[in-house]
Structure 1
Amino acid sequence: MPDTAAPPFAQQITWVYTYDLLNTARFYTELMGLEMVLDQGSCRVFRTSATSFIGVCQRPDRDVEPKGVILTVLTPDLDAWHAKLTAAGADVVGPPTHSAAYQARAFVCRDPEGYRIEFQWFDDPRWRLPENVPAVP
């Protein structure tokens, strides 16, 4: 019988587009404090955890379409993130709230192009963090 197991993934990048790469990159590095790990000129990649990244590109052949997109980062420090982003003047939509339906607490802010970034933490016991994958401070 052939092996039907899927090969593993090593990392994950979510790409979004911008009309102003410098301003958007500044948001991710200065306001969010993310490390830029790759600068390709018209595209930049920012580390959100040991194995996940947000990529931002400015390209004339791509439209900026934040509608329907949510970039979710998981952190147990929701209150600290909310305070940091609010103090920095980010477009924070509201305070952290709890969803009983999803067993999670979260809040949303928007990047300069209007992409929603959801800061979330699950209290659902079925959610398990991967072992041996350190969080990025």
Structure 2
Amino acid sequence: MTDFRPQIEQQVTFLHAQDLVETAAFYETILGLALVLDQGSCCIYRSGGDAYLGFCQTLGQHMDAPPATNHIMLTLVTPDVDGWHEFLVGQGVAIEKPPTLNETFNIYHCFVRDPNGYLIEIQTFLDPAWPKPVQNPEIGD
């Protein structure tokens, strides 16, 4: 047995997509995420740094029924929650909850849903202890 722990270099969260075309339009056109890999039935987007979101149409391949979306929340961290709220309203995206201060967690956030029904939180951490984003010159963050 060894004490050596291999490095984890990247993180990908995969979610089921009901309609990959509609999902792509939302994440590419509205949220502006870069498509880094199109695998036909799966599309993978860079959400920041070395973090990725993958959306796959997998019914019949790996699962029998679509997963419930009410237990999943995707949080996108930004210093400009109000700017995102204004932009999303302008794009015709229905707002689940307008920008609000959450004193319990010391965050400022709003909520929308993507075309699959996943809850998306647009959030900024107000706690100065939250780490600043890592700058990666390769991707222009």
The TM-score range, normalised by the shorter chain, is: 0.7 to 0.9
Equivalent positions of 1:11-90 (< 5 A) are 11-61=10-60, 62=63, 63-90=66-93
How many Å apart are 1:130 and its aligned residue? 4.8
Size of the aligned set, in residue pairs, is 135
- Unpaired runs of 5+ residues, structure 2, are none
CA RMSD of aligned residues (A): 1.9
Percent identity over the alignment is 38
Secondary structure in structure 1 of the residue aligned to 2:69? coil
Q: Quote how far apart the aligned CAs of 1:49 are.
A: 0.4
Alignment correspondent of 1:92: 95
Report the TM-score, using the length of structure 2 for normalisation.
0.86
Determine helix, strand or coil for the equivalent of 1:96. Answer: strand
Counterpart CA distance in 2 for 1:65 and 1:24 is 16
8 Å CA contact 1:19–1:64 kept in 2: the answer is no
- Structure 1 residue ranges (4+ consecutive) displaced by more than 6 angstroms after TM superposition: 134-137
Distance 2:24 2:30 in 1: 10
Which residue is equivalent to 1:3? 3
Render the CA deviation track for 1:43-76: whole Å, top value 9, x for unaligned.
Answer: 0011110211111001223314211100011100
Aligned to 1:128: 131
Deviation at 1:32, TM superposition (A): 0.9
Counterpart contact for 1:91–1:111, Cα < 8 Å: no
TM-score, normalised via structure 1 length: 0.88
Which digits, 9 at most, give the CA deviation of each residue in 1:2-33, with x for residues without a partner?
Answer: 636x4332111111112211111111011111
The amino acid that maps onto 2:98 is P
Distance 2:27 2:133 in 1: 25
Counterpart contact for 1:64–1:113, Cα < 8 Å: no
Letter in 1 for 2:69: P
Residue 99 (structure 1) shift: 0.9
What stretches of structure 1 of length at least 5 have no aligned partner?
Answer: none
Looking at structure 1, the residues matched to 140 and 126 of structure 2 have their Cα atoms a distance apart, in angstroms, of 20
Letter in 2 for 1:85: L
